[in-house]
Structure formats: structure tokens, C-alpha cells
């Protein structure tokens, strides 16, 4: 219940920011073009807060936080006096109307740049995309990818972390192949071609790289002890740093995961450890301690195993200065725009399933999870949504900004506007299509969360 409330709150904040910036884009350019703005609303329905500014515009918050609008004076809707005709929207030149409508999506792209600029200025804690284990007979295995190699790029997308790898691979969905540039453990740069003709990716159950057989690098953990905590059960039993655990109560153990599992299940018990110490096997009776956990009482030993060293600068803070952050924010925004356009195209061609469409529940969950992970992760999610909102609004559907821009482009070419009758028919068709897409996204949400 608490998670649901947090997700809803995060969703309202996220959508409020996106809608406010989108509508402010329309509002700001409209005012610069001399158009009278009657209402600036974030949210639909009955106003839960409103005030009238000195400019005569009513600013308000609607009770339904699923969008917003800017209502401008328009002769097609309002009774406009001759004196106010020059400040009505429909009386403006096609260039001004085009600019006013285009300003909404552009504001979303500007917001994405600004948000990512802030994110890179704060710094993003991240890890390099170093490859761990490769699943047998997977696409990655057939491409001869090597454990310990660092992914540098996926096609044209720079891969400085796993999120960038995900972004690059998302662009490659539906393609026959993708080229991955790697730095091998030996330090040389190589390229590997991944054959994607048989690639099947389910975003509900796995990551893009996981579906290719690539696992995130995890340091190898050995059965040798590097440290024994003072006054711990291990210390009291006589275990020492440098001991290699061979078996426990006669059961062979060849992985630290197995040792940890046995210890966790043996709280308060006495176990016989066979260890190798100074090349000699010997037995040590160990009284396992106890400690509280979320799952109840578990066993406790008090040792640290030897682990494989991490690659150089494996964990780093991805941070830039003032101008570097701005450039990186713009570059990242462009990458997101390109990927969004490609994904829409692949949805239309059937290369990407419509089951991948996300509705408000998925967005709410994403907002809540990213906000819980930290402010910089919320900023990253906000930028992604802002770009998607901008791109979607540019689709050539009459009820969206892109549809209006198509009509204005035709008007510019013909020298006269598209007839009201044709526009009305197009708006009806566009409305049905948008409603169908929304219904599909919501049904995907219901299926995703119900099952």
C-alpha cells in the first residue's frame, strides 16, 4: 500500500513537471507572437486551484493529473471583437501558428537537456559495462565475447555504463545484426558482430544484454578466507586467514555461494570444516553463530573470502563540469530522440511487439522506483519521459501537435488552410487512433500488474 501511494505521488510529480514544461512552451511562444492566452492549465477537469494573473490569463491546476492545455483566444471557438481579432490564434500567420504548436515538443527536448545537464553536474554513480559470464550457446557466445571485456559502444551509441548498452541494444531490436566494440582484458580494442536474426527479447523478464547471453561482471569469489573477524564464531573456532574450505560436515563445497548457504541454514549448530592450511588438510569444529535478518534468524560465521580484483576504475562517478555537462546532456538527449523514433518505427513495422507499450501504471512504477533509487536516477527517468512525450506529440496525428503541424505545412504549400470539414474528419480519425493506443497501453499495464 505504501509503495502504491509513493508510486502515485511520484507519477503526479513527474507528469506535472512534463506537462507544465510542454504547455509553457506553447504559452511562451504564443505570448511572444502576440496571442491572447485565456487559460494555462496543468491537469484536466475541475480546477482545484486557480488564479488570474496580471496578464489576464487564468492559471490553474486540474483535478485529473493526466495532461494539460493552453487555451488561446480563437475566432473558431470564442466570440471575438474586432478589437481583439489581431490577438486571436487563428488570425496569426501560418509561420506563427507553426511556431506556437511546435514549441510544446521543443520545450520537452529543452527540459531533457537541462535535466541531464543537472544530472551530469551532480554526478551519476555507475559501473563500467564489463562482461561477466557468457551463457553457453547464446548469441554472445557465438560472437566470441570474452569475460572481463569492457563494452565501449553498441553500433553508434557510446557505452559508458549498462544503461547505455541497454539503449544501444534497444535501437538494434528488429535488425539483423549489431556491432559491439570491446576492450579485451588484454587491453586491445576489437569489434564483434552479433547475429540478431534469431534474437527474442522479453522486456518483462530480462534485460536486452541478458537476452543475448551477457551477464554483468561480478568478481569471482573463492573459498579461501582473506580475513577472520576478531571475536567472531570463526575466530573462536580457530579458523584463520589463508584457510581454504574444502568441505563442511563431509559435503564438498566448490563455491562460496554454497558455503554461505550452508552457514545461513545452520544457526547455532556445530559443523565440522575440512580446510587446507599451509598445503595440509585439517579438520576444524566450528560453532556457527546467530544473527537477525529480514528472513528471521540465520547463521553467522564472521569471515571474508578472497575475491577477484575489480577492473581499474570499475566503479566511477560519471560527472562533468558546467560546459561539459551541457554538451553531454544535449548529446544524451539526441541519443534518446533517435532511439525513440526508431522504436516507434519498429512498432509500426511489427519488429517490436505492441506489448511493449507502457501505460500510466508502468510509468508510475518507473517514477516511483527511480525516485527511490536516488535523485539522479529520477532525473534520468524524467529526461527519458520528456523526450518520449516530445516525440509522441510530433506524430502526424491530427489531435496531436504533429497533426496540426502537418495541416500548417499543407497550408504553407497551398497558400490556403485545409478545409474545416477535412480537418474535422481527420480529428475524429486521429482521436480514435490515439484512444486505441491509450487503451492498448492500459490493457498492457493491467496484464502486467494483474499477472
Got the DSSP string for 187-230?
S-EEEEEEE-TT----TTT--HHHHTTEEE----EEEEEEEE-T
Give the count of beta carbons closer than 10 Å to the beta carbon of residue 3.
11
The catalytically annotated residue of 23, 150, 335, 365 is: 23
Candidates 113, 119, 111, 116; CA nearest to 28 is: 111
Residue of 6, 117, 2 lying closest to 366 (CA atoms): 6
Pairing label, strands 124-127, 315-318: antiparallel
Q: Would you say 311 and 128 are in contact if contact means Cβ atoms under 8 Å apart?
A: yes
Q: Whole-angstrom Cα distance, residue 67 to residue 61?
A: 10
Where is 134: in which H helix or E strand? strand 131-134
| Rounded CA separation 331/157 (Å) | 10
Give catalytic status of residue 23 as yes or no: yes
Q: How far is CA 105 from CA 333, 345, 388, in A?
A: 13, 19, 9
d(CA 383, CA 109): 8
Catalytic site positions: 23
Amino acid at each position: 500500500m505504501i509503495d502504491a501511494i509513493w508510486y502515485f505521488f511520484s507519477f503526479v510529480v513527474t507528469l506535472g513537471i512534463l506537462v507544465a514544461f510542454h504547455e509553457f512552451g506553447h504559452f511562451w511562444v504564443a505570448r511572444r507572437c502576440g496571442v491572447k492566452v485565456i487559460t494555462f492549465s496543468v491537469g484536466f477537469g475541475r480546477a482545484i486551484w486557480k488564479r488570474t494573473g496580471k496578464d489576464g490569463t487564468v492559471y490553474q491546476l486540474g483535478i485529473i493529473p493526466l495532461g494539460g492545455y493552453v487555451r488561446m483566444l480563437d475566432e473558431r471557438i470564442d466570440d471575438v471583437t474586432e478589437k481583439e481579432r489581431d490577438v486571436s490564434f487563428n488570425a496569426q500567420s501560418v509561420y506563427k501558428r507553426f511556431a506556437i504548436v511546435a514549441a510544446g515538443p521543443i520545450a520537452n527536448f529543452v527540459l531533457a537537456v537541462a535535466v541531464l545537464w543537472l544530472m551530469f553536474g551532480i554526478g551519476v554513480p555507475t559501473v563500467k559495462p564489463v562482461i561477466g559470464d557468457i551463457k553457453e550457446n547464446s548469441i554472445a557466445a557465438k560472437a566470441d565475447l570474452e569475460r572481463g571485456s569492457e563494452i565501449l559502444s553498441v553500433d553508434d551509441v557510446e557505452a559508458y555504463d549498462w544503461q547505455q548498452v541497454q539503449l544501444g541494444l534497444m535501437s538494434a531490436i528488429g535488425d539483423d545484426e549489431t556491432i559491439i566494440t570491446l576492450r579485451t582484458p588484454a587491453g586491445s580494442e576489437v569489434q564483434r558482430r552479433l547475429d540478431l536474426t534469431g534474437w527474442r527479447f522479453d522486456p518483462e523478464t530480462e534485460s536486452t544484454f541478458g537476452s543475448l547471453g551477457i551477464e554483468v561482471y561480478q568478481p569471482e569469489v573463492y573459498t579461501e578466507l582473506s580475513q577472520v573477524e576478531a571475536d567472531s564464531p570463526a575466530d573462536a573456532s580457530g579458523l584463520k586467514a589463508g584457510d581454504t574450505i574444502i568441505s563442511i560436515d563431509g559435503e564438498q563445497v566448490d563455491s562460496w555461494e554454497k558455503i554461505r548457504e550452508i552457514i545461513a541454514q545452520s544457526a547455532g549448530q556445530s559443523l565440522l570444516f575440512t580446510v587446507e592450511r599451509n598445503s595440509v588438510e585439517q579438520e576444524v569444529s566450528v560453532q556457527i553463530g546467530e544473527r537477525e535478518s529480514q528472513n528471521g534468524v540465520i547463521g553467522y560465521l564472521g569471515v571474508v573470502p578472497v575475491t577477484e580484483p575489480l577492473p581499474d576504475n570499475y566503479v566511477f562517478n560519471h560527472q562533468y563540469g558546467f560546459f561539459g555537462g551541457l554538451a553531454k546532456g544535449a548529446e544524451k538527449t539526441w541519443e534518446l530522440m533517435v532511439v525513440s523514433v526508431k522504436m516507434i518505427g519498429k512498432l509500426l513495422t511489427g519488429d517490436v511487439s505492441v506489448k511493449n507499450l507502457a501505460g500510466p501504471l508502468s510509468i508510475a512504477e518507473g517514477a516511483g522506483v527511480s525516485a527511490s533509487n536516488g535523485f539522479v536516477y529520477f532525473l534520468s527517468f524524467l529526461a527519458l519521459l520528456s523526450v518520449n512525450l516530445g516525440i509522441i506529440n510530433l506524430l502526424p496525428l491530427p489531435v496531436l501537435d504533429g497533426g496540426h503541424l502537418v495541416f500548417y505545412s499543407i497550408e504553407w504549400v497551398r497558400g490556403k488552410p485545409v478545409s474545416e470539414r477535412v480537418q474535422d474528419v481527420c480529428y475524429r480519425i486521429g482521436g480514435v487512433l490515439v484512444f486505441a493506443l491509450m487503451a492498448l497501453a492500459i490493457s498492457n499495464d493491467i496484464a502486467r500488474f494483474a499477472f
